[in-house]
Amino acid sequence: MTELVTEKPADDQEGKPTSASRITLSHIMTSVDTNLLGTVHGGVIMKLVDDAAGAVAGRHSGGPAVTASMDEMVFLEPVRIGDLVHVRAQVNWTGRSSMEVGVRVLAERWNESSPAQQVGSAYLVFAAVDEQGTPRRVPPVVPETERDQRRYQEAQIRRTHRLARRRAIKELRERRAAEGLDDA
């Protein structure tokens, strides 16, 4: 099991609590957001997810941050014209210059009085950069609740899997190239 790491980094950079950068972005879906099936296009939802996650990453890191990857974008229910979509995002984990941002997408149906229901979720990795695009250090995230601690630990597991997958793919490509099987 992955343990929660709460020690300060070597440069004694002050940590920020998860609540310091948490946001909700809300948007009413219109006909311009729909696909050929008449539901909101997944790409529209993905853009809202990236926008919210980018705002959280920039707020947490105190400056520009760029999307490095998007993991596990899950669409649970269709979103329709008129739905009020809420995109909630927070920093789950931080490394030296990278941050994992968890995003939850909820929709309130325009013609129902029921509470918003979850329609999607995603995990994104952002890298904090300076004016030249060079990675820069980010403050550590400080989990505040048991839920934040669980998200932090799960994010460490996802990071381990991302790095292992990247390493395995690189090794496979190098092996195929060495065997003359590089299909560029």
CB-CB contact of 51 with 89 (8 Å): no
Identify the pLDDT of residue 109: 86
The whole-angstrom separation of Cα 101 and Cα 77 is 22
Rg (CA), the chain: 19
Could you tell me if 52 and 103 are in contact, meaning their C-beta atoms sit under 8 angstroms apart?
yes
Point out which residues pair with 106 in neighbouring strands. Answer: 86, 118
The pairing of beta strand 16-17 with beta strand 141-142:
parallel
Q: Are 37 and 50 in contact (CB under 8 A)?
A: no
For residue 163 the two structure tokens come to 């790095």
The pair phi, psi for residue 3, each rounded to 5°, is -90, 150
Provide the 10 A C-beta neighbour count for residue 53.
Answer: 29
Closest by CA position to 150, among listed 69, 93, 72, 73: 93
What are phi and psi for residue 169, nearest 5 degrees? -65, -45
Q: What is the pLDDT along the chain (184 residues), one digit of tens a residue?
A: 444 444 444 456 789 999 999 999 999 999 999 999 999 999 999 999 999 999 999 999 999 999 999 988 999 999 999 999 999 999 999 999 999 999 999 999 888 888 999 999 999 999 999 999 999 999 999 999 999 999 999 999 999 999 999 999 999 999 999 998 876 5
